[in-house]
Every structure is written in structure tokens, then in C-alpha cells.
């Protein structure tokens, strides 16, 4: 229950919050098991319910990424430094530079810009 400690002023989750977290955890475990079984049994992989469930899960994840990208973009104080860093990272990724190098060099550049 550590994940639910900060949800309420008392640090304890209400029954509704607990059930919502338990439901989400059960769904995640069931989907993980289905994905593991799909590798062993092709009939699961090609079934319509499995295809719909994985498609919807991917769409939910992409939506979450989009929302977090917009929120992060709105929270950053956009001056010339972060804009140049974002453009440079985008260009590097378009030029097929390895993501590891883009992240490492971006972190070093961000540290230099902060100081």
C-alpha cells in the first residue's frame, strides 16, 4: 500500500481508492500473463479479444505519453537554451544518432545550461 500513502491527508487510502488500485493491479497482472501466453500459443495472439485488449492498452499508453509530454512542455520555462537543446535532440534523432548518446549529451548540455 506504499503507492497509496500520499493520496489522502491522513496517509491512508479510502476503500474506493484501494479497490481502484487493486483492480488496476489485477488487470496489469492478467494482461502480462496473457502477453506471455501469446508467445507460446498463436491462437491467443490471433484472437479478437486479445487483439482488442492489446490495441486498447497501447492506445492508452500513447495517450498517457502525449498528455505527459504536453504537461512537461507547459512546465518548462522556454528560453533559448531549452529550445536549442530540444531542436538539437530532435535533429540528432532524425539523423539516426543512437538514443543513448542523445540522452547522455543532452543531460551534459542541460547541466552546462543550468550553471
CA separation, residue 79 to residues 76, 82, 84, 113 (Å): 9, 6, 9, 11
Pairwise CA distance, residues 50 & 54, whole Å: 6
- Whether residue 114 has pLDDT greater than 70: yes
Instruction: Tell me the pLDDT tens digit for each residue of 2-34.
Output: 454 555 556 566 666 666 767 777 777 877 787
Q: What is the 3-state secondary structure (H, E, C) of the chain?
A: CHHHHHHCCCCCCCHHHHHHHHHHHHHHHHHHHHHHHHHHCHHHHCCHHHHHHHHHHHHHHHHHHHHHHHHHHHHCCCCHHHHHHHHHHHHHHHCCCCHHHHHHHHHHHHHHHHC
CA separation, residue 47 to residues 21, 38, 43, 67 (Å): 28, 10, 6, 30
Maximum distance among all Cα pairs of the chain, rounded to whole angstroms = 57
The mean pLDDT of the chain is 81
Summarize the confidence of residues 32-44 as an average pLDDT.
Answer: 78
- Whether residue 1 has pLDDT greater than 50: no
Q: Where do we find the cell 488500485?
A: 21
Question: Which tops the pLDDT comparison, 87 or 78?
Answer: 87
Amino acid at each position: 500500500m506504499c503507492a497509496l500513502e500520499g493520496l489522502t491527508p491522513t496517509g491512508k487510502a479510502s476503500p474506493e481508492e484501494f479497490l481502484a488500485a487493486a483492480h488496476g493491479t489485477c488487470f496489469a497482472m492478467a494482461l502480462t500473463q496473457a502477453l506471455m501466453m501469446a508467445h507460446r500459443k498463436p491462437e491467443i495472439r490471433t484472437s479478437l479479444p486479445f487483439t482488442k485488449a492489446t490495441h486498447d492498452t497501447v492506445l492508452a499508453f500513447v495517450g498517457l505519453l502525449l498528455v505527459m509530454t504536453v504537461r512537461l512542455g507547459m512546465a518548462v520555462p522556454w528560453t533559448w537554451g531549452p529550445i536549442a537543446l530540444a531542436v538539437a535532440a530532435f535533429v540528432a534523432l532524425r539523423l539516426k544518432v543512437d538514443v543513448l548518446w542523445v540522452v547522455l549529451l543532452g543531460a551534459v548540455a542541460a547541466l552546462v545550461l543550468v550553471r
